[in-house]
Structure 1
Amino acid sequence: MILMKDIVREGHPSLRKKAKEVKFPLSTDDRKIAEDLLQYLKNSHDPDFVEKYKLRAGIGIAAPQINSSKRIFALHITESEGNPISFIAINPKIVSHSVERTYLTAGEGCLSVDRNVQGYVPRYTRITIKAFDLEGNEFKKRLKGVASIAFQHELDHLNGVMFYDHIDMNDPFKEIPNSTPLERE
Structure 2
Amino acid sequence: MALLKIARMGHPVLTRPALPVEDPTAPEIRRLVADMAETMEDASGLGLAAPQVHVGLRLFVWRGGAGNILALINPEIEPVGEEMEEGWEGCLSIPGLRGAVPRAARIRFRGFDIEGRLMEGEAAGLAARVIQHETDHLDGVLYPMRMPDLSRFGFNEELHRAATQAARAANDQPPQEST
Say whether residues 1:124 and 2:97 are aligned partners: no
Alignment match, 2:36: 37
What SS does structure 1 have at the residue aligned with 2:48?
strand
Say whether residues 1:94 and 2:77 are aligned partners: yes
Say whether residues 1:58 and 2:45 are aligned partners: yes
Please, what is the CA RMSD of the aligned residues?
Answer: 2.0
Work out which of the residue numbers 80, 83, 89 in structure 2 matches 1:108: 89
Work out which of the residue numbers 106, 116, 136 in structure 2 matches 1:136: 116
1:61 is aligned with what amino acid?
L
Q: Which has the larger radius of gyration?
A: 2
Deviations 1:120-178 (A, max 9, x none): 201011111001011211111211100000000000000000011011245548xxxxx
Number of corresponding residues: 153
Provide the C-alpha distance between the structure 2 equivalents of 1:158 and 1:170, rounded to a whole number of angstroms. Answer: 23
Provide the C-alpha distance between the structure 2 equivalents of 1:102 and 1:59, rounded to a whole number of angstroms. Answer: 18
Which structure is higher in helix share? 2
Identify unmatched segments of 5+ residues in structure 2.
Answer: 154-179
Say whether residues 1:153 and 2:133 are aligned partners: yes
1:29 is aligned with what amino acid?
E
Alignment match, 1:13: 12
Identify unmatched segments of 5+ residues in structure 1.
Answer: 45-54, 174-185
Using structure 2 for the length normalisation, give the TM-score: 0.77
Alignment match, 1:26: 25
* C-alpha contact 1:95 1:130 (8 A) present in aligned 2: no
CA drift of 1:102 comes to 1.0
Provide the C-alpha distance between the structure 1 equivalents of 2:95 and 2:81, rounded to a whole number of angstroms. Answer: 31
What SS does structure 1 have at the residue aligned with 2:123?
strand
Using structure 1 for the length normalisation, give the TM-score: 0.75
